[in-house]
A and B are shown apart, each in its own frame.
Chain A
Amino acid sequence: MNALKNPPGVKTTGMWLFVLSDLLTFATLLVIYTALRIANPDWPRPFTLSPAIVYATIMTVVLLASSLTMVWAVAAMAEDDRKNTVKWLLATIAGGIAFIALHLTEWRHLVLEDKITASTGLFGAVFFGVTGLHMLHVACGAVYLSILTAGVARGKFSAEDIETGGLYWHFVDLVWMFIFPLVYLMAVKP
């Protein structure tokens, strides 16, 4: 429709704006968590070191690893190496799916074994609220990257598109860097 196209960098700017806005949404949730926790001195701390924290650490490493493959995908696309881009993108999506699978297993364990759900108290509310929103972001990211992968394989999309997708994926990773210590580590059994 428009003969004129945007100069390079516009998409990156747009994605950064989204990232900043969404970071504030997550920050708000974490601030609410903090305020509620201050208001409730008897805040439960149900996590055991093993398996709960070990498990969560593995999840963190998996997510970090998917960020690393994403960086390689972006780098490959910058050199117009579509074959390797697709390879690393697929690896990233696999990492994301693995993270979700691990996460759901953990949720299942909490609900079935520890009898903690969103409605059993504020700990469950915060835990499932915050990690649920994050998991939604990972799932959206997996869909987003799948669309990119399919496009790259068919010769569509530019290096900037992959860079933009990478920004989103790293942002999801970055948010987890705050959720892991605040939601998990600060709730280890004393």
Chain B
Amino acid sequence: MTYVKVWIGLVALTLVEAGLAWIRTAPTLMLALLLVLSLIKAALIAWWFMHLRTHRPKPLTVLIPMLFVFVGLLLSLLPDGIRAGAMR
């Protein structure tokens, strides 16, 4: 039954996200909220559906943070995006 509750939560969060678009939230605020909500949803899926809660292969404690580091590194591409926009 827990799975159904998690699923209902996921659907509810999806509707909240769509609702943010519905009420035309300002883009920057909306992006921030959407990212937070998406991370929560991803965490719910990983924690419950992918069984991170009960079965956690040992390397994941190191590798999952590593993934975040890599994504953070990739974000260093964004300043060049800004400069490319300025050069247009």
Contacts and interface: CB of A to CB of B under 8 A. Distances in A.
Interface of A: 9, 12-13, 16-17, 20, 23-24, 27-28, 31-32, 34-41, 49, 53-54, 57, 60-61, 64-65, 67-68, 70-72, 75, 163, 166-167, 170-171, 173-174, 177-178, 180-182, 185-186, 188, 190
6 contacts: A35-B84, A54-B18, A61-B14, A64-B7, A68-B4, A174-B45
Given A31-B77, A171-B50, A61 B88 contact: no
Given A67-B45, A185-B20, A17 B14 contact: no
A34 B67 CA distance: 18
- Interface of A, secondary structure class, is helix
Interface residues of B, number: 48
Contacts of B82: 38-39
Given A34-B81, A67-B45, A185-B30, A180 B71 contact: no
Given A67-B45, A180-B17, A185-B21, A38 B38 contact: no
Contact of B71 (A24, A36, A75, A182): A24
Interface in B36-63: 37-38, 41-42, 45-46, 48-51, 55, 57, 59-60, 63
